[in-house]
A = this chain, B = another copy of it.
Amino acid sequence: MPSLTSVLGVLDPTSDRAVFRQIADALREAIDKGRFREGDKLPSETELVDHFGVSRMTVRNALSLLQQEGLAVSEHGKGVFVRPRPPVRRLASDRFARRHRDQGKAAFTVEAEAAGSRPEVDNLEVKEERPSPDISARLGSPRKVLARRRRYLLDGRPVEFATSYLPLDLARNTPIAQPNPGPGGIYARLEEMGHRLDHFDEEIRARMPSPAEVRTLQLASGVPVIHLVRTAYDAEGRAVEVCDTVMAADAYVLAYQLPAN
Contacts and interface: CB of A to CB of B under 8 A. Distances in A.
Interface of A: 28, 57, 64, 68-70, 93-94, 96-99, 197-211, 221-226, 232, 249-250, 252-261
Given A203-B254, A208-B224, 17 more contacts: A70-B208, A93-B256, A198-B259, A199-B259, A200-B258, A201-B258, A202-B256, A202-B258, A203-B255, A204-B226, A206-B206, A206-B226, A206-B249, A207-B250, A208-B222, A224-B224, A256-B258
11 contacts: A28-B211, A68-B208, A198-B260, A201-B257, A201-B258, A202-B258, A203-B254, A207-B224, A207-B249, A224-B249, A232-B260
A260 B204 contact: no
A202 B255 contact: yes
Copies held by the complex: 2
A64 B20 CA distance: 15
Nearest to A95: B258
B260 A97 contact: yes
A249 B205 contact: yes
A147 B97 CA distance: 36
Given A206-B206, A210-B69, A249-B206, A201 B260 contact: no
A254 B200 contact: no
Nearest to A28: B211
Contacts of A208: 68-70, 222-224
Residue of A198, A202, A209, A259 with highest tally of chain B CB at under 10 A: A259
Tell which of A97, A200, A204, A221 has the most Cβ of chain B within 10 Å.
A204
Contacts of A258: 93-94, 96, 199-202, 256
A102 to B, nearest CB: 16
A260 B98 contact: yes
Nearest to A204: B254
Contact of A200 (B57, B204, B260): B260
A250 B205 CA distance: 8
Contacts of A69: 208-211
B68 A199 contact: no
Contacts of A210: 69
A253 to B, nearest CB: 6
A91 to B, nearest CB: 9
B68 A260 contact: no
